[in-house]
Amino acid sequence: MSNSPVCIDASFILRLLQSRGETTVIRLYRSWKEAGQLLVAPTLLYYEVANALHRYTLGGYLQPGGAEALLQQVFRLGISLYGDPGLHLKALQVARDLGLPAAYDAHYLALAQHLNAEFWTADKRLFRAVQDRIPNVHLLEAE
């Protein structure tokens, strides 16, 4: 494992929140923290995670207090957030170049490219769309 930064998206974080026991996602997170690797994401991360937790609450999978507690856990994960104007411009370019239907995911990809970071996602659709065109993209497989 290199000491390069690691960019993680909302799907990765949601899988981390849902994990119990010694799972791949927990082992990855711990290994990065123990190695002192910088964990990064665009500021979009908190918006996406909060939205997903809200949807879980609406669906009856979480109580409102549970969603708030999980979001507080996310705040304590030690992820450095980026949201400068240049990132948004790069995300537009990445979305266009890759033919992505939206620019949300492109923010993670643009940040990973900018920082020469590994990018981890649990989103199979995104992974399949970019795996042959973006280096250092990894899929967190379901367990």
How buried is 101 (Cβ within 10 angstroms: 0-12 exposed, 13-18 middle, 19+ buried)? exposed
pLDDT in tens, 45-72: 999 999 999 999 999 999 989 999 999 9
Do 78 and 33 meet the contact criterion of CB atoms below 8 Å apart? yes
Sorted by where each starts, the structural domains of the chain and their CATH numbers stand as 6-139 (3.40.50.1010)
**Phi then psi for 118, rounded to 5 degrees?**
-70, 150
Beta bridge pairs of residue 139: 121
Tens-digit pLDDT profile for residues 6-58: 999 999 999 999 998 889 999 999 999 999 999 999 999 999 999 999 999 99
Query: Which residues lie below 8 Å from residue 38, measured CB to CB, with a gap of 6+?
Result: 5, 6, 80, 117
